[in-house]
Amino acid sequence: MADLPVAPGPLAVGLSAALQRAGLPVTADRAARLARALRLVPPVDRDSLYWTARVTLVPTRAQLPLFDAVFSAVFDGRLDPADSRGDDAAPPAVGSEPRTRPVPPDRRRSDPATSAPDDGPRAGSPGAGDADGAERETVLAVASAQERLGTTAFAELEPGELAEVRDLVRRLVLATPQRLSRRSRPGQGRRIDVRRTVAAAQRRGGDVERLVFAERRPRARRLVLLCDVSGSMQPYSRVFLTLLQGAVADASAEAFVFATGVTRLTRQLAGRDVDAALARAAAVCTGWSGGTRLAASIEEFLAVFGRRGMARGAVVVVLSDGWATDPPEEVAAAMARLRRLAHRIVWVNPRAAAPGFAPRVGGMAAALPFCDAFVSGHSLAALQEVVAAVRAG
């Protein structure tokens, strides 16, 4: 590729089209940006073109492997870029979203300034203020459900009943306990709110008659859910995924699933369309069976997300039966690390309700000392305990 006998425009469009065919979402304005960049940086060799294209076209690290594959296919002439759909050789990066569906219309807004974030419906979701009302509604909904639905373990439900349960699970609003934020509001605090004091004085002709105090506004703590989707959790995963979806949509939670590794599901579960969200999530967590690498998964979660701030001061809910394949001391070490970051750890173990259950299994026994609450969550009635455990503290 000594020289490119191509004008910037066609080159940009051609490369963008190749990426688009391979499943990388390249918008028209990005292609235009690449064309502008190529005017500034003439593509004298492969490397300079590579970096110019990568910096302008790829918005996130997760898409880099695919971009590299397509780029090398186009410019090293190894294969037709249309065949590099979903480069399987590259390990799926955390958070990567294989785009196999058409872009939903709400992403095609022409005016980004007015477009709402599409990571979960913030507007209209019950805030912390009316959580009590929402909770009452939930209790009523559960009370009106059939008795059988309330207490039968999810593992024994019929498909139709499962749908009904899912509907109820979605309405369990997980509201985390509050912490003080940096922002303030007028109230009974100890700090003087100078701005409001001066404003009040101005209205009275410049005399400070009344000191307005500021108090720190409470904010809900972050909620992080880690759901075990290994083989032994099969009967519960579908319902728990629904719980995850509800938490992401209504409580802006972060959701992860794990078996032998950790996958972040927040983006897949976000959005108003529950079934589409669950379908996207199910596509990610199917075909996993065998044991859970509990310690390794928690470690990976901490290394990639938790220590950067996601787990700090958060309420972390682990949904797992604790049947770990890693040694108990490793589970304990990982849990200890999580303990030092999180505000509360709630462990939901659907097998805890079985008669004669005692958390004697290696992994569970090792993890238990680090949990603030241990609930079963194996049935709808038990899910109430989960909500209560999250709310506490």
Our finding on whether 125 is near another protein (CB under 8 A) is no
Out of 78, 99, 107, 204, the residue judged to bind another protein by CB under 8 A? 107
Cα–Cα distance for residue pair 271/255, rounded to 1 Å: 13
Out of 1, 7, 51, 329, the residue judged to bind another protein by CB under 8 A? 51
Which residue is listed with tokens 């000191």?
A: 211
Considering CB under 8 A, how many residues would be counted as binding another protein? 55
Our finding on whether 267 is near another protein (CB under 8 A) is yes
Q: How far is the CB of 303 from another protein (least distance, A)?
A: 7
User: Is-contact 386 377, C-beta < 8 A?
Assistant: yes
Cα–Cα distance for residue pair 136/138, rounded to 1 Å: 5
* DSSP code of residue 193: -
Q: SS3 for 388?
A: helix
Pick the closer one to another protein by CB: 39 or 78. Answer: 39
- Residue 144: both structure tokens together: 């009106």
Our finding on whether 367 is near another protein (CB under 8 A) is no
Cα–Cα distance for residue pair 290/234, rounded to 1 Å: 10
- Residue 136: both structure tokens together: 């009452």
Our finding on whether 61 is near another protein (CB under 8 A) is yes
What kind and span of H or E run contains 347? strand 344-348
Our finding on whether 52 is near another protein (CB under 8 A) is yes
Q: SS3 for 366?
A: helix
Q: Could you give the string, one character per residue 307-346, with x where binding to another protein holds by CB under 8 A and - elsewhere?
A: xxxx----------------------x---x---------
What kind and span of H or E run contains 114? none
- Residue 62: both structure tokens together: 């997760």
Our finding on whether 206 is near another protein (CB under 8 A) is yes
Out of 117, 124, 129, 287, the residue judged to bind another protein by CB under 8 A? 117
Q: Contact residues for another protein (CB under 8 A)?
A: 27, 29-30, 32-33, 35-37, 40-41, 47-48, 51-52, 54-56, 58-61, 64, 95, 107, 112-113, 115, 117-119, 122, 181-183, 194-195, 197-198, 201-202, 206, 208, 219, 254, 266-267, 302-303, 305, 307-310, 333, 337
